[in-house]
Amino acid sequence: MRLLVLGRGKTGSLVAEVAAERKHHIEVAGATENPACAALTPEKLRDIDAVIDFTTPHTVVPHIEAVVNAGKNMIVGTTGWDQDLDRIKTLVAHHGTGFVYTANFSVGVNLFLDVARAAAAALRHDYSGQIFERHHVQKKDAPSGTAIAIQHVIRESSAPAEALQITSFREGDVVGLHEVVLESGHDRIYLCHDAKSRRGFAEGAVRAAEWLASKKGFHDFKDIWREL
């Protein structure tokens, strides 16, 4: 495939590396090459099969609008734009393009969501719960998109009166650590996912681009990762 990777940062650069290893043709645009979406005109995207975005919460929505309006498929890993999700779903449906989004492209975290979903039953048995997340100090959004996804799946499966509280820590170079703690008067359950590197995110994003090649519509990675 011919892939355009937006973002030369910690994750975008790994995505380009993994995509090259998987024999795709790669172009990369960082902030310098893409002011005001300059790299995303219909002419520039003509020969591109899909665009993968790992940039910033402030730039990602204009990127999405430009790519979808140009009729191209898109894989978005950038977090912190949930307020625009419904509008983007409508835009994708209108243009008949393919789109995959998740706050976390790691297969391990998606398995962890299933574990959290099962453990949420505790909230119907006098347990209270909390979510903790730790990331490196440069991370721009808090709470993390993954912590919000964990909060959603727990809410969906146990319907607690209030969403579990999320506490965020920003320290050192932590790649991403998420904990769910469920506590009763008698015991405590700890669930923890600790990312050792960004490689899992990059592999998930590239494999999602391959999966999307023959598809249309807006897809959440948590619903499709088993098919990769």
Ligand X SMILES: NC(=O)c1ccc[n+]([C@@H]2O[C@H](COP(=O)([O-])OP(=O)(O)OC[C@H]3O[C@@H](n4cnc5c(N)ncnc54)[C@H](OP(=O)(O)O)[C@@H]3O)[C@@H](O)[C@H]2O)c1
| Binding positions for ligand X, rule: CB under 6 A | 6-12, 29-32, 34, 54-57, 59, 77-80, 102-105, 138, 198, 201
Nearer to ligand X by C-beta: 188 or 196? 196
- Residue 165: its H or E element: strand 165-170
Catalytic residue among 10, 89, 95, 139: 139
Q: How far is the CB of 32 from ligand X (least distance, A)?
A: 5
Question: Quick one: which H or E segment has residue 108?
Answer: helix 107-119
What is the closest distance, in whole angstroms, from the C-beta atom of residue 30 to ligand X in the complex?
3
Least CB distance from residue 142 to ligand X, whole Å?
Answer: 10
3-class DSSP assignment, residue 41: coil
Indicate the residue whose CB is closest to ligand X. 9
Tally of helices (H runs) and strands (E runs) in the chain: 7, 10
Residue 180: Cβ within 10 Å count: 24
Length of the chain: 228
Evaluate the omega torsion of the peptide bond into residue 143 and state whether it is cis, within 30 degrees of 0. Answer: yes
**Residue with Cβ nearer ligand X (62 or 96):** 62
- Catalytic annotation on 139? yes
Half-sphere exposure of 10 (CA within 13 A, CB side): 14
Angle at 152 between CA 88 and CA 116, to 5 degrees: 135
Question: 78 or 97: whose CB is closer to ligand X?
Answer: 78
Residue 25 CB, nearest distance to ligand X (Å)? Answer: 19
Are the C-beta atoms of 13 and 199 separated by less than 8 Å?
Answer: no
Q: Please state the closest distance from residue 53 (CB atom) to ligand X, in A.
A: 8
Q: Which of 44, 135, 178, 193 is catalytic?
A: 135
Q: Which is nearer to ligand X, 102 or 158 (CB)?
A: 102
Query: Catalytic site residue 24?
Result: no
Cα–Cα dist 126/71, whole Å: 50
Closer to ligand X at the Cβ: 6 or 182? 6
Give the separation between CA 62 and CA 159, rounded to whole angstroms: 35
Q: So which residues are the catalytic ones?
A: 135, 139
